[in-house]
Every structure is written in structure tokens, then in C-alpha cells.
Amino acid sequence: MTTAAPLLELRGVRAGYGIIDVLHGVDLVLQPGEVLALLGPNGAGKSTTLAVASGQIEPSSGQLLIGGREVNGARPDALARSGVCLVPEGRGIFPNLTVTENLRMMTFAGTSLSAIQEKAYELFPRLEERRRQLAGTLSGGEQQMLAMARAMATDPALLMLDELSMGLAPIIVDELYSQVATLARTGLSILIVEQFAKTVLGVADTAAIMLHGRVTRTGRPDEIAEELTAAYLGIESGGHQ
Amino acid sequence: MRTSGLRPSLIFAILASLGFLVVVSWQSWAGNTVTLDSLLVATIAGLSVGSLYAISATGLVVVYTTTGTFNFAHGGIGVFSAFLYWELAENKDGIGLPRLFALILVVLVVAPAIGVFLDLILMRRLRTADLVVQLMVTVGLMVFLLTLTGQLWQADQARSVGFFWEGQGFFIGEFKVTWHRYMVIVVAAAIALLLRLLLYRTRIGVAMRAVVDNRELTALNGARPGMLSSFAWALGSSLAALAGILIAPEVQFSPANLNDVMLIAAIAAAALGQLRSLPLTVVGGLLIGLLQQHNAQWLSHGADWPFTRLAIAPIVLFLVVLALPQARLEVGRVATNLRPVERTTNWAEGAFGSVALIVVAIVLANGWLDFGVWDPGPWNQIALNNGIAAMVIALIGLSLVPLTGWAGQINFAPLAFAGFGAFLFLKLAGESGNALWIPVVGLLCAPLGAIVALFAARLSGLYLALLSLAFALLMAKLVYPHPKIFPTHTFADLSVGSYTLDSRYRFFLALIIVFAVMMFALVLLRRSRFGRRWVAMQDSQAAAATIGVNVILTKVIVYATSAALAGMAGVFWAISKNSIDSGRDFELLANFEIVLLMAAAGLAMPAAALFLSFRFVIEALGGRLDEAGSFGPLVWFLDSFLAKFGPGLLAIGMVVNQRGAVFEMGKGFAPLLPWRRDARRELALERERGRVREIGGLGLTEPFTGEALLEIDHELGVVDDITPAEGYRHAVHPEVADV
């Protein structure tokens, strides 16, 4: 492990919606260049963790650190411009904008439109064919490619992917994850949230299990894979925390 | 992309409109000779006025598409700006800035500042509010701005705004075309082009459209949603100001008139563009301008149709809303807010309230409590007249309770329904005042409600509000002013058999009793199967339909009920005024005041209708204090401030208190009642919650307490020992978490 400050760190983060806390003290560390898979059943708090890390929800207590600096309360757009890229669950695209306009929206993070177009069309040639089409009329896989284009083309410092595979055909999921693997090889730090672990454990360096608003187990992907079934059935493992 | 193509309803609407146009033109042809020159000049004038409507309408559309708020105050901003411009440039006793400089100052500095200010203090809070609240706040703002303008520039002197270039121009044949009109067309074309480029070719424009699709994702991309909405409001206000200043020379320069001209035409044009297409919006604006000018040039409708010029925009609005494709209707506005759960008044409480009112009436009637009301002094006459006006308005307000409060059908036209009742009573009972006809009037008004329901059935939300607006205007500008509807007449005192309500005082007491009875009837109605269906329909039409509620029939019944109530109230309204002044009584602002105050009080509660007496009580109180003397500042506050600005301010206040004032008062009062254990429990829960926000997105309106969560977890076996999971503890008792 590196001695530099972790790229993303959550220390004892509690957060939620109104009176209901969803996260009850989340501790999570993502080292620079690492791919971390965050797994867990429905309602465990995975997406809320990403919402905290991207600035959409402010922790009610605990610390959110990015690059070693505490950024509690930073607005999501400010974090986005400083290189935090979250591709949210369920197609992170604007359905009533064209593909080109969707790409133009990605320029707020600092990359020029021509650079984004070049990169996106190189990776996903199908998007170029459909550049004048409204994004909402693309197929599910194409929409996810468009969403991923932001991750691929804007050169973020931290990438977070929420349920990339949701509702997509297995062959498309494989294609998307091969792109993630490519990104990982460039040294990008990636936090991936998934409910179904098989594909994601193939690209992850580290995996963590989340249950009832806490990270209950962190370890190598192969170790975690063994414990997953138990975790999904709601049985807390007695493993070291 | 789905294309709507030429649907049958659209074809029908176009054919019906053309047919209507041909018939009207045939009937009303004025006989002027048609020459190329006169045709050209009327067309240029139409395009010019239409361009101004287009500018105004595009402002409305830009704000709506970017922020999801339909801004009824758009015209109000234009009116205020136009008067400010007059003060700066046209006022003979003013500072006399050059026109162009004043124009630039108002359009590019003051108006955008107003827009940003409104966004920061009001509009941002409306983003997730219920549509009713959203509409009421902007309508309230409109009323406030018009009142403010009226107070700052009182109608004690005649004002006018001059044309640019002092009305100089060029000639086509014998007709002069002013440079002002000509340049307006050029400016409008330039603005349309620039807006198009802004929204589609610049990053900020694309981001403004992106916010509508997905606000969170816009932020995740790094754009600042708050800045984008402020920019949209600045732009919208700027366009409103420009349109207001340039239209001002063309019309009678008064706040209400300028607002009517600007706002209704803008809404109609925007509706033609389905509130999102700028090119179609521009076409809509031009179309209305052309129709108005050609109507003025070629047609003459005679003295029986005095306000046809003002009816053109409402007719266009009416036809457009009816012809719109259904699927597009909800675009741009997703209801994210849960309506508060309101406890339904039980029949005993309703009976208690009604009986209490009746007792008050009996006490007053017998003079057991002497307020000096028999004393015929001047103040008592004022107080009595105010009391009568208050009760009449409260009765009309009651008609909104089932329709808007329970069934969620927004209606800006309560007086249009009331007027129909007055009309029927005049036809049936003549000037006899036989009260036995009132129930018959109610029954006959129900079909009018049913007909409106059939038009309204396929609409919802904003478009329904716009349809009712068009309906209110059509009745006010076309139907009621026709001399056959309300010929010269006087309503006699009400009578049953030989008993006559021959004094104002008796009439007042009778109104209290009628209100009490109707209120009680509504409480029972709310608890009936109809009441439940209406509320279910408001919550979710789809869900109501899946459990077997016939949505169309339910709508028809609620509209019929409301129309019957309003019609009967209309009879009392007409009698209280002795006669209907068809030119003024149905004004849009009068309708708005009823709806606004009703919403601010709480639309779902019959008793809240009493709140409509607000203005009349304030005025009476002010009058009384004035008579007593030595209350100068207080009288000024009541009469000049509260009575005038109150309705608008109360509606704007809904931005923080969305459930209505009466609801809040009731909430404070309920725990004191011995049988309201539920209210006490609620209060205790609220204290426990402290400052914690309500849950919005989880589909829950009643947050669980920490204990409840523990209980559930324990039952599910998620926590196996009794020791509380500290997380849940933390939510309620932060101090425990640290142990």
C-alpha cells in the first residue's frame, strides 16, 4: 500500500434522509489507483455512500476526505469540477438532450468538447452514428455507454459507478466492464457499487461488503466472494471489522 | 423520437377553428374595402403586436422549461417594469432620462435583478412544491406586483407611454407604418434567433435545458443548477420588461389592462408551443397579434359584443389547450412532493361548527348581545355590507373545496360558475326573489359543471388551470357582457312564501345559516364514498382507476357538485349586489382573489372558506377605527396595506406554509380538545423530531421513531439482542450514541 493520503476516505460517516439515518458510521478507504468494489444487498446504504462521496448528501457526522482534505458540505457541482465523477444508477444521461448535447454537458468538468467527442466516439463508435438523436431514444446499452463516456472522456481523478449492470443484457455488461478494466489499467481510482458481484470482482483490487449502513468486511475479492452469499442472506459474518 | 403527427383531435381543432373564423367573419363583416395597402398595413400592425406577445411568451417558456415553474407573475413583472420606465423616461415631472437609456436600464439591469431576487427568495423553494402551491405563489406575486404598481403610480393622473421615434414612420399607400412597429418586428426576430442559439448552441443554454431533465445529474456534471435557474429568471424578467415597455404605447396604460393584454396573450402563445417549443410559441404570438389587428380592421361585432378584442387570446388559449396531445401534458413538471395527510373532520365536529354558527346567528337576531347593530349609524351599514360580502364570497369559496381541495382539479373560474347561477335565477325567478328557486338553480348548474368536466377530463395539472383560466375569460369577455344574459335588472329581496328577507340584517343572518348548512353538508360529503373517491383521484388517478374507480365519472360528479354549489352561491352573490355588473364583476383578478385566499387558508377544509372574509373584516375594522379616531397609523396599515396587499402576500406566504393557515391554526388548537388523542400524539412526535426535516423521497409521510425502527428490526430478527443498534438510537437521541 502507498503511504500517500487515500484518494477517498469516509471516517465514521452517518448520513440519511431526514430523521432516518441510512449510514451508521461508514468507514471506507480508496487508495490512489485502486479499484474498490462495494457490495451488499438492497437497502444496505451503497448508493447513499456514493451520494455522500459525491456531495449530494452531507454527512450528519463523520468526515468525508478527498485527497486527504476534508470536504464535508462541498456542493456536488464543486466536487464534480474538481474531478469527482459519479455515474449514477439508472442511466446517467439527459433523455431530452441529443447525444452531442449530452457530451457538451460533460465539458463543465474542464475538458473541451472536441476532446470529449473524439474520445467518446473512438470508444463507442455507435454514439457518433447517433449524435443528433435524443439520448432518451437510444437503447439501454447505448445510454449506459453515453453515461460511461463521461467517465472515460473527462479524465476524472475519482470515478464512482453505481449499479452499472442494472437492467442490461449480460453481453453489454461484459463490454462495459472491459472498458472499466481499461480505465483501471490507466491508474484511475474507481469505486464500483454493485448488487451482483460476479463481474465486478473480476476487475476489483479490493472488495467491501456493506450491511445495514456499515462496511462490515473489507478484503481481497476472492475472500469476499466466499462470504457474499451469507451476507446477502442477512447473516452477519463474524469476520474482523 | 415519437412524432405526434396529425391526430384526429388536432385536425378537428383546426377545422373547428377555421369554421368558427369563417362564420364569425361572415356574420360580422364591417364592409371595409379590401385593398392591398390596407391588408399590408393591418398585417404589419398585427405582426408588430404579435412580435411583442412572442417576446413575452418566450420569456414565459424559457423560465418554465428551465425551472419547471409556470410564472403567472410574468405579466406583473412586465407591468412594473413598464411603469418604472414611464417614471424614468416619460414622466414630465420626473428625471427625464433619454428613452433608449431608460429602456436599457430597465430591461438589462432592473428587470434581471428582480428576476434573480425572486429566484433567490421565492422560486427556488417552489421547485419541489405541489403544483397548486406553485401556481398560487406566482399568482399571488402577480397580484402583489399589480397592487404595488397601482399604489406607486396611482390612477390620479392620466399616463401614457410614447412610441419610439415619436410616432414617425413610412407610408404604404395612404397608411402610415410607424418605425416603432417596424422595429419591434425586427427586434423580436433577433431575440427569437438569439434565444434559439443560446439554448441550443451554448453550454449554458444546453445546461438550462439539462436541469429540467435531471437536476442532480446536472450538478454531477459540474454545472451550477442554482446559477442556471437565476439566469433563467433574469432572462425571463428581462423579456417580460421589454415586452411590457414596447406594448405600453399600444394599449390603455393601466396595470390591470396591461397585465391582461400581456399575460393572456403570452400564455396562449406559450400553450401553442406546448410550453416548450420556442418556434411554435413565436408563431402563436404572431397569430394572436394578426387575429387581433385583422379583427379590428375588417370586422364589427356590434354593441352586443363589447369585448371581442379582449376575447381573442382567451379563445386561442381555449382551443389550443383542448387540442393539445395528452401525452405531452406533464412534461417538465414531475410532482415530487407528498401532500400532507389531513385528518378528515368527523360529522360531530362538523355539526358542532355549524351549530355554533347558527347559534351566533340566533344570538345576533335576538339582540342578546348588543353590538349596536340595530343602530343605523354609518359604520354599522358599512360593517353589515362587509359582513354580507364576506359571507357571499365564503359561499362561493366553498365550491372550491370539493373540486380543488379534495379532487385536485384547479379552477380559476369560480365566479364564472357563480355568474351562471345568477343568470339562471334571473331567468327563472325573474325579479321576484323566490328562494325556492335556489335549489333548482343548483340542479341546473350541475350540467354546466359536467360539460366543463368533459373538456377537463383529459387534462391535468397546469393545463387544467389554463383551461379554467380561458373559461373564466371567455365567460367574462364574451358571454356575460352580452345584453341578453344580464339585461338591465334588479334582484329583489329573497322571500319564502310571505316571509321576506327585507332588511340587510336579516339577509346577513340568513347567509350565516346557509353557510353553516352547506359547510356541514360538505363535511358529510367528504366522508361519503364520493369524498373518498375524489381524494383518491387526487392522490393518483392511475391507482384510483386500478381499484375500480371510474375516473371520468368521478370527475364529472365533482365538477357538477362544485358548479351546483357555486351556482347557488351566485344567487346570493347577485342578490347581495342588487344587480350584476357584467363588465366588471367577472374580472380575472376577482376570481384570482377568491382562489388565492382559499388556497392560503387551506383548500381542503370547508371551514377555511370563512377566511375569505379576510379583506372585508379588515376593511370594516379599519373603518371602525377610523371613525373612533386617533388610530391613524393602524388604520393606514389595515386599509392601505393589509386589505390591499394581503391576498397577494398571503398567497406568496404559501411558500413556507403550504398547507394553509386554517390547517395550521387547527393543528395548534386540536390537542386541546379532549377527544383528539391523535393530535396530542402527533404533537409529542413532532417535539421529539425537533428540527429534523420531513422525509420527502421515501414515500413516507410519518417518519418512524427510533423505537419503532428498533421494534421492527427486532421482529425481523435483524438485531438479535435487545440492546439498541446504536445507529437507530443516534437518530433520535444523539447523546446516547456517544455512550
**CATH classification of the domain holding B73:** 1.10.3470
B333's CB contacts (< 8 A; 6+ apart) are: B68, B131, B461, B462
Grid cell listed for A198 = 460476479
**Within-domain flag for A71:** yes
Assess whether pLDDT exceeds 70 at residue A35.
yes
Give the mean pLDDT of chain B: 83
Average pLDDT estimate for B321-344:
53
End residue of a domain, out of B266, B284, B299: B299
**Within-domain flag for A138:** no
Contact assignment for A88 to B216 by CB distance below 8 Å: yes
**Within-domain flag for B67:** yes
The confidence score (pLDDT) of residue B630 equals 66
Contact assignment for A75 to B219 by CB distance below 8 Å: yes
Contact assignment for B220 to A14 by CB distance below 8 Å: no
* pLDDT tens track for A108-154: 988 999 999 999 999 889 999 999 999 999 998 899 889 989 988 88
The confidence score (pLDDT) of residue B494 equals 87
Residues B222 and A77 sit within 8 Å (Cβ to Cβ): yes
Top mean pLDDT of A48-62, B597-611, B645-659 is at: A48-62
Confidence of residue B173 (pLDDT cuts 50, 70, 90): confident
Together in a domain, B263 and B129? yes
Distance from CA of B226 to the nearest CA of A (A): 10
Q: CA–CA separation, A103 vs A97, rounded Å?
A: 10
φ and ψ at residue A149, rounded to 5 degrees: -55, -35
**Within-domain flag for A62:** yes
User: Which residues, listed in sequence order, are joined to residue A86 by a DSSP beta bridge?
Assistant: A160
> Which is more confidently placed, B709 or A22?
A22
Q: Using the CB atoms, write b or e for A201-216: b if 16+ within 10 Å.
A: bebbbbbbbbbbbbbb
Average pLDDT estimate for B546-561:
91
**Within-domain flag for B677:** yes
Together in a domain, B236 and B355? no
**Within-domain flag for A29:** yes
Give me the interface pTM, i.e. the ipTM. Answer: 0.91
Together in a domain, B138 and B283? yes
Total of domains in chain B = 3
Together in a domain, B528 and B583? yes
Q: From B702, which residue of chain A is nearest by alpha-carbon distance?
A: A19
Q: CA–CA separation, B708 vs B716, rounded Å?
A: 12
The confidence score (pLDDT) of residue B166 equals 77
Give the residue numbers in B contacting A (CB under 8 Å), as ranges: 1, 200, 203, 206-207, 209-210, 212-214, 216-225, 689, 692-698, 703-704, 709, 718, 725-728, 730-732
User: What domain range includes position A3?
Assistant: 1-83+189-241
Is B185 in a helix, a strand, or coil? helix
Confidence of residue B329 (pLDDT cuts 50, 70, 90): very low
Site from B197, B201, B217 to mutate, A interface, most A CB atoms within 10 angstroms: B217
Contact assignment for A94 to B697 by CB distance below 8 Å: no
Assess whether pLDDT exceeds 80 at residue A171.
yes
* pLDDT tens track for B87-107: 999 888 888 899 999 999 999
User: What domain range includes position B115?
Assistant: 36-299
Of B1, B200, B730, the CB nearest to A14: B730
Together in a domain, B702 and B615? no
Contacts of A109 in chain B (CB under 8 A): 221-222
Contacts of B209 in chain A (CB under 8 A): 94, 96-97, 101
Grid cell listed for B665 = 391554526
Assess whether pLDDT exceeds 50 at residue B255.
yes
The confidence score (pLDDT) of residue B694 equals 41
Average pLDDT estimate for B411-433:
91
**Within-domain flag for A66:** yes
**DSSP 8-class letter at B299:** B
The confidence score (pLDDT) of residue A240 equals 41
**Within-domain flag for A21:** yes
Question: How much of chain B is helix, strand and coil, in % rounded to 5?
Answer: 70, 0, 25
Total of domains in chain A = 1
Contacts of B210 in chain A (CB under 8 A): 94, 97, 101, 105
Q: Give the percent of chain B with pLDDT over 70.
A: 87
Kindly write down the DSSP assignment for every residue of B176-194, as one continuous string: EEEHHHHHHHHHHHHHHHH
Distance from CA of A53 to the nearest CA of B (A): 11
Average pLDDT estimate for B42-52:
92
Together in a domain, B421 and B490? yes
Average pLDDT estimate for B486-490:
86
Distance from CA of B255 to the nearest CA of A (A): 38
**Within-domain flag for A229:** yes
Together in a domain, B701 and B564? no
Site from B221, B227, B228, B328 to mutate, A interface, most A CB atoms within 10 angstroms: B221
Contacts of A213 in chain B (CB under 8 A): 727
**DSSP 8-class letter at B604:** T
Distance from CA of B664 to the nearest CA of A (A): 22
Together in a domain, B629 and B690? no
Domain containing A32 — which CATH number?
3.40.50.300
**Within-domain flag for A8:** yes
The helix or strand, by DSSP H or E, that contains position B228, with its residue range, turns out to be helix B225-247
Q: CA–CA separation, B466 vs B463, rounded Å?
A: 5
Distance from CA of B737 to the nearest CA of A (A): 10
Together in a domain, B79 and B137? yes
Average pLDDT estimate for B569-587:
90
Top mean pLDDT of A85-94, B283-292, B300-309, B624-633 is at: B283-292
The confidence score (pLDDT) of residue B472 equals 94
Together in a domain, B606 and B509? yes
Give the mean pLDDT of chain A: 87
**Within-domain flag for B306:** no
Contact assignment for A150 to B210 by CB distance below 8 Å: no
Assess whether pLDDT exceeds 90 at residue B670.
no
Together in a domain, B154 and B294? yes
Together in a domain, B282 and B426? no
Average pLDDT estimate for A186-191:
92
> Which is more confidently placed, B33 or A201?
A201
